[in-house]
Structure 1
Amino acid sequence: MMPDENKIPPGPLGTIGEIRQPYDLKLGDMIHFDGVFFPITDMAQARGGARVLHFRSREPYLVTGPTLVYRPVELNGLKGTIRFVSTVHPA
């Protein structure tokens, strides 16, 4: 049973839980099975827009509809130009 979007249980540190469609899944997203979080290592397209997800230590899993995944949080809040500031002052 899919949890309510406002009551998603916490996941691994550094991730955020989101309900995603099969077409919106990414490599590295984590899916919870039997108390363990497995990152997606590969995926393949299946009929009707479904996806077959592959994991390192688990059998493949077929996703046909919205699924709860835990995606690593992107910590880069500054997009655009990175400025280098030198702390060495000329003599």
Structure 2
Amino acid sequence: MASSRGAVAGRLLLQEPDQEIVDCTTCGSSGYAISGDLNMLEKLTMKTDARYIFVIEKHAIFQRLAEDRVFNQIPCVLITAKGYPDLATR
């Protein structure tokens, strides 16, 4: 089983089948962990009103932008892989 490596925050709603909706704007500075299970990722329902996706290499910068809630000023989704991205994050 692959472990999660990436994280996402911002204007994104995620829902697994028969699960409650996760609002990524409320996940805090650590964001929502991206599962390493590719089969589970295929089943996710994603909804967003974001106009941009910011791919951030450094986790510290991701945390700072999420903490400052930059996605409220700029309609975006923040995503990080904490360095080199795994397949699920890509």
Q: TM-score, normalised by structure 2?
A: 0.28
Normalising by structure 1, we get a TM-score of 0.28
Higher relative CO (CA 8 A, sep ≥ 6), structure 1 or 2? 2
